[in-house]
């Protein structure tokens, strides 16, 4: 692991949850309220809890074993398992899990995909 990747991984671990929730709620203003967020890069897991505007119950999503794979010049995102407390959302997530999804070539992102792939490389 490069020094740069190690530094970014540490910054992600040290980012206060309150800051993530604050920024997330600015982005989601008028759509939803982000109430919880957990990201564990070492174990490739994430948890998100949000409440959509006008809805009483929150939506919870668990993501397990996500990776970013490099195949020559192309990059693919893969999510092994995803579930939710909402049946309809779990069924929708099932359509995306277990498949390698090609990341479109966006010129602004291309220089950063190698670093992202190093951060999210598959567990050994």
User: What residue spans define the domains of the chain?
Assistant: 3-119
- Strand (E) or helix (H) holding 47: strand 45-52
pLDDT 10s per residue in the chain (124 long)?
789 999 999 999 999 999 999 999 999 999 999 999 999 998 999 999 999 999 999 999 999 999 999 988 899 999 999 999 999 999 999 999 999 999 998 999 888 999 999 999 876 6
pLDDT at 124: 65
Phi-psi group of 65: left, alpha or beta (phi > 0 → left; psi -120 to 50 → alpha; rest → beta):
left
Sign of CA dihedral 53, 80, 70, 112: positive
Report pTM: 0.86
């Amino acid at each position: 692991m490069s020094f740069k990747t190690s530094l970014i991984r540490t910054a992600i671990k040290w980012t206060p949850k309150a800051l993530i929730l604050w920024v997330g709620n600015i982005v989601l203003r008028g759509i939803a309220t982000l109430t919880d967020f957990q990201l564990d890069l070492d174990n490739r897991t994430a948890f998100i809890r949000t409440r959509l505007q006008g809805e009483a119950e929150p939506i919870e999503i668990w993501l397990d074993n996500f990776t970013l794979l490099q195949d020559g010049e192309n990059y693919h995102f893969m999510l092994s398992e995803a579930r939710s407390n909402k049946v309809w959302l779990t069924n929708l997530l099932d359509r995306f899990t277990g498949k390698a999804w090609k990341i479109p070539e966006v010129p602004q992102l291309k220089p950063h995909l190698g670093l992202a792939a190093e951060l999210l490389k598959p567990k050994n």
